Amino acid sequence: MRSLITGALILLSSVSLGAQHPKDTHIVKNLPGLYITFEKIGQLQSPDIVDDKERIWLRLHNNSRWPIRLDMGGVPAEYGDARLFFDGLANGEVIFRDRCHACSTNLMSPGKSILFNVSRRDLGVGRAIRVKFSYGWEQWDDVTAGREPEHYVYFYASQLPQQFQQAASFQGGSDPKVQIDYICEGARESIFSKLKPGRRSRN
């Protein structure tokens, strides 16, 4: 009798877990839920005074079945769709954090992508970036209070085309000792046309 009860409980648990975590979680089956791809390397024609002219354009893809939340700021058209905030890493260690203290937190719908750029120096040999995000189904108050797990999507210098992989020095690039305070005066409408409505301002 005990073995029958145990078997029934296992069966019910399996059904419950299956309902909460469907197998069909990715839109494109053979790709990660979130990932970043390389777009191009080039120069900004009119860079902001604090930005390097040499840039790498990347694209963040939401291949999951859920919306995600991202901090972002408005940028001129040549920069991409939006400014995303990220950590810089060297040999696996965080060396700087690019954070927004007054910006918009936006919902990015499933199947959407965002074009953004970083300094070419941020992706030298042994370097990487990571973009922090949260899932739309997570309670926002719990996310901001640190009660939800932190999620990151990474892009490594080794993922660049071979001809663009290079060594980079900290001198003249992103300063590992400086936490950047970026104030977004107002995001461009073109950003939000790509996103699901539901942005929240963070001050």
> What residues does each domain of the chain span?
25-202
> What is the pTM assigned to this prediction?
0.72
Q: Is 107 left (phi over 0), alpha (psi -120 to 50) or beta?
A: beta
Low-confidence ranges of the chain (pLDDT < 50): 4-20, 168-203
Q: What is the pLDDT of residues 130-157, one digit of tens each?
A: 999 999 999 888 888 889 999 999 999 9
Phi, psi of 148 (to 5 degrees): -105, 155
Pick the closest to residue 142 from 69, 72, 199 (CA basis): 69
Give the model's pLDDT for residue 145: 82
Helix, strand, coil in percent for the chain, rounding step 5: 20, 40, 40
